[in-house]
Amino acid sequence: MTNSWSPTAYADNSDVRIAYDRLIESSGDPLLLVMGLGTSRFWWPLGLCQAFAERGFEVVRYDQRDAGESTRMPDTSASNPFAALAGRKSESYTAEDMTDDAVAVMDALGWERAHVFGHSMGGTLSQRIALRHPDRVLSIVSSAAVPSDASGLSAFRYLRFGLLAKLARTKFPEGREGDIAADFAVARGVASRTYPFDEGRST
């Protein structure tokens, strides 16, 4: 199985451009990977994507708006996406806008329907994609995600508040370097003795 991804392509949802790519030589049932809050599509482990392809899926991953190579939205009162999750209001866009981004990627690919695998906030979005666009979804997997109807303070029962507060206070630089720094901050935060963070990944 090749470890290469196709060149970056873009899907348009109104004035937002969503970056995506496809695992080369993957084919079969369409599978859309939806990553979590403020994290680029490059977070998906290659081995996992290859395993999906070996089981007969055409694998596509994309960047949420405000992450990776997708459109960055104008500054709002929330200084970073973790602060926004902590409850600071952002007027820039809604979860419904983000579900429509996923459908825009499917449209660009010519996919009528797809299996949707979402992790973390992407898992919550996968639930909302199925609710908002049921005719476009073959199945969903919602990994490490809160229920899609949890909001505000009720969401904190599902979260590690200390980690979220730490991430909300952290200043990440704009652009690629900031994305990488945020990715590693999350990875270190969720690591454990059983599944420690591999410091070699950050060099």
pLDDT by residue for the chain (203 residues), tens only, comes to 445 899 999 999 999 999 999 999 999 999 999 998 878 899 899 999 999 999 999 999 999 998 899 998 876 544 455 555 445 455 578 889 999 999 999 999 999 999 999 998 899 999 999 999 999 999 999 998 877 666 655 555 556 667 767 777 888 887 778 877 877 887 887 778 888 888 776 55
How many domains in the chain? 1
> Which residue in 117, 115, 125, 161 sits closest to 143, CA to CA?
117
Q: Is residue 196 part of a domain?
A: no
User: 3-state DSSP call for residue 160?
Assistant: coil
The C-alpha angle 94, 95, 100, rounded to 5 degrees, equals 100
158 CB neighbour count, 10 Å cutoff: 12
pLDDT on residue 180:
79
pLDDT on residue 150:
60
Q: Is residue 195 part of a domain?
A: no
Q: Is residue 51 part of a domain?
A: yes
The DSSP line for 2-20 is ---BPPPEEEEETTEEEEE
Strands (E), the chain: 9-13, 16-22, 29-34, 57-62, 114-119, 137-143
Question: Cβ distance 61 to 41 under 8 Å?
Answer: yes
User: Containing domain of residue 127, as a range?
Assistant: 9-190
Question: Cβ distance 133 to 106 under 8 Å?
Answer: no
Q: What is the CATH number of the domain that holds 49?
A: 3.40.50.1820
Q: Is residue 82 part of a domain?
A: yes
Q: Is residue 55 part of a domain?
A: yes
Q: Is residue 199 part of a domain?
A: no
User: 3-state DSSP call for residue 65?
Assistant: coil
